Amino acid sequence: MNIGEKIKRLRIKNSLTQEELADRCELTKGFISQVERDLTSPSIATLVDILECLGTNLQEFFNESLDEKVVFTKDDIFESENEELNYIIKWVVPNAQKNSMEPILVELEAEGRTKEDSPHEGEEFGYVISGSIFLHIGNERYRVKKGESFYFKANSNHYIENAGKSKAKIIWVSTPPSF
């Protein structure tokens, strides 16, 4: 862990200059600068004072996980293809299963469909990027076209199938994660 860099991020997050932080902690601006650049290490007592001025404490400071990744690129995508049902699922946010929601990109070839998902706690949302699909929820079937979205509680069996002759692309978000 880079303590100086983390202190600097907290200082900036709190909209403080080095001088303002130094004044609050009864330290010098030069000392804060050296700590942030890891040129010196504060004593435990001084670190406690700095963290208190930044609105945190030792436990939160050291237990805090690394900053979560915010932007994901095509290199982050994990892909799974089902040749039998003619679809590809792309997990656009890696390890999203640990989060509250799990977004995926579904590509359905002509006559393709996803596996049927059993009822579960939570909700489902989808947006059709291209093509058109049939959304099956229990015994109901809904047509959803390009530019349209769907949203439902996942308390019935559900799946989607391509309703057209060209590829359909859908952003699908499940909460809690279930893909």
Query: What is the amino acid identity at position 88?
Result: I
Contacts of 2 (CB under 8 A, 6+ apart): 38
Of residues 96 and 169, the one with the higher pLDDT is 169
3-state secondary structure of 141: strand
CA 18 from chain centre, in angstroms, equals 32
* Across 3-22, average pLDDT: 92
Q: How confident is the model at residue 66 (pLDDT cuts 50, 70, 90)?
A: low
What value does the mean pLDDT take over residues 48-67? 84
Written as six digits, the tokens of 173 are 């978000």
Cβ count near 83 (within 10 Å): 9
* DSSP class of 2: -
Nearest to 177 by CA among 113, 89, 107: 89
Report yes or no on whether pTM surpasses 0.85: no
Domain locations in the chain?
3-63, 74-175
Residue 47's pLDDT band, with cuts at 50, 70 and 90, is: very high
Question: What is the percent of the chain with per-residue pLDDT over 70, rounded to a whole number?
Answer: 95
Domain 74-175 top-level CATH class: mainly beta
Q: What mean pLDDT is reported for the chain?
A: 91
**What digits encode the pLDDT tens for the residues 72-129?**
898 888 899 999 999 999 999 877 767 788 899 999 999 999 999 999 999 999 999 9
Residue 67, pLDDT above cutoff 70: no
pLDDT of 152 reads 97
Per CATH, the number for 3-63 is 1.10.260.40
Cα separation, 171 vs 179, in Å, equals: 13
Lowest mean pLDDT among 69-73, 94-98, 154-158: 94-98
pLDDT of residue 64 exceeding 70, the answer is no
pLDDT at 32 over 60: yes
DSSP-assigned letter for residue 96: G
